[in-house]
Structures are given as C-alpha cells and as structure tokens.
C-alpha cells in the first residue's frame, strides 16, 4: 500500500512539473532550388551548403550559374580600380579588369586559400542567390593571423549590378558586351596577375 501511495505521489509531482512542449514555427519551408532556377517543392533548401566554384559545389552556385560569362562595366567611374568585372562559374569565379591606355591589369579570385609572393588570403562565399552574391575576403599578409576582412556584395537590381563592400565603396555596373581579347584591348601592355581571364 505504501508503494502504491508513493507511486501516485511521484506521478502527481512529475505531472505538475511537466512543461508544455511548443513547436517552433521557424521551420525551413523554402523549396530546394537548382542553379537554373527550377524549384523542387518536395525538398527543402539547404542553408548550410554554400557555393564553391572551384570545388564540387560548382553546380550549386546560383548567381554564378545565372551570370556565367557576363561582363559588367562601371561607366561612371571607368578609370577606378573596379572598371570592369566578369563572373565565371569556374575555378576563378570573378575577374577584375583595370583597362587603361598605357598599362592594363587583370586578376581573378577563387574561393579558398590563395597565396602569391609570400602573401596569403582566403575567400569564402557567404551568400549565393539568384541575383545576389556575397563573399568574405580575409587577408593574412605574411602572418598566420587575419590582418583584415572585407565583405564584398554584388546584387543585380533592374538589370544593373550594384556593388558595395564593408570599406564603404559603392558602384553601379552596367551590362557590357565588350570583347576582352588581348588582340582587341587598346593598351600598350597587359599585366596578367593570378587568375587573369584574358583570352
């Protein structure tokens, strides 16, 4: 009899301490989306796998798949460091061109660790959507510690490419049909840095 009373007392106390379980309404309901834009309603979109153009994740790069091979020109600030840009769904996902009459420069960036002349940096894509691409640029220099980090943001709005970064730079690029062939570019010298995509 004492055991039965103790069991009932235990059940009564445990039922008083029980909290109601409420399910959160923040479940991921976004459908999986292929780089082509086609959606798969039966599967949920992953927010833990990011675009990696120089790895196995290349097919998941939505922005780079949509704008693969496109050129953009900064028509208002043409002689800035960001005069022309090309996006590629390849190992080097972005090429930057500084086209001038005397000396022109070209370089490209790829994700992951990069090094040149004893200096190193790391590029990681953090946001990849149909019309938006963000990536972090961690600069190490010659040390093992990050000296500074810059976040670069590209977003296509009304067919224009809006660029900004955490250093306060902002530019608007227009679609360009320029031909970046070495034979056509009007410059006395082209300096090709790592990742340059001149043909």
Residue 155 domain-assigned?
yes
Residue 172 domain-assigned?
yes
CA angle 148, 154, 155 (to 5 degrees): 150
Residue 80 domain-assigned?
yes
d(CA 180, CA 11): 78
Residue 90 domain-assigned?
yes
At 47 the three-state DSSP class reads coil
- Listed in sequence order, the residues at least 6 apart from 194 whose beta carbon sits closer than 8 Å to its beta carbon are 107, 108, 114, 116
Report CA-CA distances (Å) from 156 to 129, 168, 173.
Answer: 10, 18, 9
> Which range of residues forms the domain containing residue 55?
49-192
Q: What local confidence, expressed as pLDDT, does residue 103 receive?
A: 78
β-pairing verdict for 189-192 and 103-110: parallel
Report CA-CA distances (Å) from 110 to 54, 159, 161, 195.
Answer: 7, 25, 20, 8
- Listed in sequence order, the residues at least 6 apart from 49 whose beta carbon sits closer than 8 Å to its beta carbon are 57, 60
d(CA 123, CA 113): 7
Residue 23 domain-assigned?
no
Tallying the residues shown for the chain, one arrives at 199
Residue 84 domain-assigned?
yes
pLDDT tens for the chain, 199 residues long, are: 667 766 766 666 666 555 555 555 555 565 555 544 555 565 555 554 567 777 666 667 899 999 998 989 887 765 455 578 889 888 889 888 887 767 778 888 899 998 888 899 999 999 999 999 999 999 999 999 999 999 999 999 999 999 999 999 888 899 988 766 667 666 677 777 777 766 6
Q: What pTM value is reported for the model?
A: 0.69
Q: What local confidence, expressed as pLDDT, does residue 35 receive?
A: 46
**58: CATH:** 2.40.128
Report CA-CA distances (Å) from 95 to 20, 82, 87.
Answer: 55, 10, 6
Q: Per the structure, how many domains does the chain have?
A: 1
Q: What local confidence, expressed as pLDDT, does residue 171 receive?
A: 87
Residue 6 domain-assigned?
no
Residue 36 domain-assigned?
no
């Amino acid at each position: 009899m004492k055991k039965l009373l103790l069991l009932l007392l235990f059940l009564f106390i445990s039922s008083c301490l029980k909290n109601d379980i409420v399910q959160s309404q923040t479940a991921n309901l976004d459908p999986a989306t292929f780089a082509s834009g086609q959606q798969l309603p039966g599967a949920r979109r992953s927010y833990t796998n990011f675009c990696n153009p120089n790895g196995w994740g290349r097919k998941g790069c939505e922005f780079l798949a949509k704008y693969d091979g496109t050129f953009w020109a900064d028509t208002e600030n043409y002689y800035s460091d960001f005069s022309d840009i090309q996006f590629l769904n390849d190992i080097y996902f972005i090429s930057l061109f500084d086209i001038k009459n005397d000396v022109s420069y070209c370089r490209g960036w790829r994700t992951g660790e990069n090094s040149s002349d004893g200096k190193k940096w790391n590029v990681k894509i953090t946001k990849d959507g149909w019309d938006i691409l963000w990536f972090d640029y961690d600069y190490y220099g010659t040390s093992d510690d990050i000296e500074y980090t810059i976040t670069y943001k590209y977003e296509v709005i009304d067919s224009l490419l809006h660029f900004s970064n955490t250093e306060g730079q902002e530019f608007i690029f227009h679609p360009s049909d320029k031909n970046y062939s070495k034979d056509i570019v009007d410059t006395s010298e082209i300096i090709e840095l790592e990742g340059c995509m001149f043909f």
